[in-house]
Amino acid sequence: MKKRYKVLIAVLIVVAVIVAAVIGYKIHMHYDIEPHECYNIAVMEEEGRSYDDYSTVYMTTDISPEGLQAIYEALDVQPEGNVAVKLSTGEAGNPNYLKPELIGDLVQELDATIIECNTAYSGSKRADTLMHMEVAKEHGFTEIADVDIMDADGYMVIPVEGGEHLKENWVGQNLANYDYVVVLSHFKGHPMGGFGGALKNISIGMASREGKVRIHSGGALHKPTITLAALTTNQDVFTESMAEAAKSVDDYEGDNIIYINIVNNVSVDCDCVSNPAEVDMHDIGIFASKDPVAVDQACIDAVFAAPDSASMQERVLSLNGLHILTHAEEIGLGNRAYELIDIDTEE
């Protein structure tokens, strides 16, 4: 009988810990939701809203290899040295990742290496380098370029300037091997951040497994497995930490980094989800800038203006996803205000 009581008590303790953790998670998830406002300077001026500075964002509705090439050329850059293209290889089972047939011509023209880092969450087939490479092969990326899992052999530390939560960022150590980075992001929803674009691609996407956990926990945790405890961080602290990690990468690269977002196959779930929600809005186009804040803001504005974007709007606002843009601008990463140049209408 005593043994049964001990087992029962042990079970009750475990249940109590889990319940406490879940309650803690819900408590820490409370925040003030920021409303959406368009930051296209043409709209801001019409509404009499002011801005201190703005960045340039180019866009095209031509989601094709030719459209991608045209938007890249609009940035008027000349990458030199060892060029990398940062993208998400997509979780096994997810059909929405950027397809090699869309991006392959540009990647090969740049003679670039595709770079990625391993995931930190349990159940992912990309948490281990060998399996990650298998997924990259299955998704066709190894057919168009070499693929480098940058944290396969560890991470390196880069400083975070002006961060409230992070003072350093742990990124895949092989990032040091590249002279220029083209950040190619599939813009879509995200079950934790609200949306995923350029900022997520250079923060969580560039971080090593350990670095990912540090970002998710606001700098508190180091163990390379995301657990319930790691997710008890306040949602705004999480998005602020992503913005700070993104700034560290942008600072590290200096002028040798550009950002291209492709808004197609938009689901409320990101490419890291093996069984995502169905795509339920139309494709919009390709956006590009030298400013990751501006290019993500332009994509948000385009999505929120779309008549079939109700689910995306709910996903972004329910997780206060706009806060990453606010914090990124506050710490000097970039501008939310932007001039939008439609290259389809230029003569």
User: Per the structure, how many domains does the chain have?
Assistant: 2
pLDDT of residue 260: 99
Mean pLDDT of 203-226: 85
> In terms of domains, do 101 and 152 share one?
yes
How many percent of the chain have pLDDT more than 90?
A: 80
Over residues 21-39, the pLDDT tens digits come to: 343 333 344 568 999 999 9
> In terms of domains, do 269 and 226 share one?
yes
Mean pLDDT of 305-327: 98
More confident call, 306 vs 8: 306
pLDDT at 223 over 90: no
CATH classification of the domain holding 304: 3.40.50.11440
Mean pLDDT of 149-165: 97
More confident call, 146 vs 25: 146
Structural domain span for residue 279: 35-342
Mean pLDDT of 34-53: 97
> In terms of domains, do 22 and 105 share one?
no
> In terms of domains, do 45 and 14 share one?
no
Query: How sure is the predictor about 226, in pLDDT bands with cuts at 50, 70 and 90?
Result: low
pLDDT of residue 121: 75
Q: Supply φ then ψ for residue 273, to 5 degrees.
A: -95, 125
Please state whether beta strands 113-116 and 194-196 pair in parallel, antiparallel, or not at all (unpaired). unpaired
Mean pLDDT of 134-139: 97
> In terms of domains, do 5 and 126 share one?
no
Mean pLDDT of 112-122: 91
Contact 177, 82 (CB under 8 A): yes
**Residues in contact with 126: Cβ distance below 8 Å, sequence separation at least 6, in sequence order:** 89, 91, 92, 116, 118, 119, 132, 135
Mean pLDDT of 329-342: 98
pLDDT of residue 16: 36
Residue 169 belongs to some domain of the structure: yes
> In terms of domains, do 50 and 107 share one?
yes
Mean pLDDT of 154-172: 97
Q: Is residue 168 within a helix (H) or strand (E), and if so which, with residue range?
A: strand 168-172
Residue 49 belongs to some domain of the structure: yes
Residue 347 belongs to some domain of the structure: no
**Residues in contact with 205: Cβ distance below 8 Å, sequence separation at least 6, in sequence order:** 86, 88, 116, 117
> In terms of domains, do 314 and 239 share one?
yes
pLDDT of residue 225: 57
Contact 106, 84 (CB under 8 A): no
> In terms of domains, do 23 and 39 share one?
no
> In terms of domains, do 13 and 113 share one?
no
pLDDT of residue 300: 98
> In terms of domains, do 116 and 103 share one?
yes
pLDDT of residue 11: 39
More confident call, 127 vs 326: 326
Amino acid at site 37 = E
pLDDT at 126 over 70: yes
pLDDT of residue 6: 45
Mean pLDDT of 74-95: 96
pLDDT of residue 13: 34
Over residues 267-291, the pLDDT tens digits come to: 999 988 888 899 999 999 999 999 9
pLDDT at 12 over 60: no
Residue 140 belongs to some domain of the structure: yes
pLDDT of residue 233: 65
> In terms of domains, do 4 and 138 share one?
no
> In terms of domains, do 160 and 184 share one?
yes
pLDDT of residue 31: 66
Residue 143 belongs to some domain of the structure: yes
pLDDT of residue 39: 98
The β-bridge partners of 340 are 57
pLDDT at 211 over 50: yes
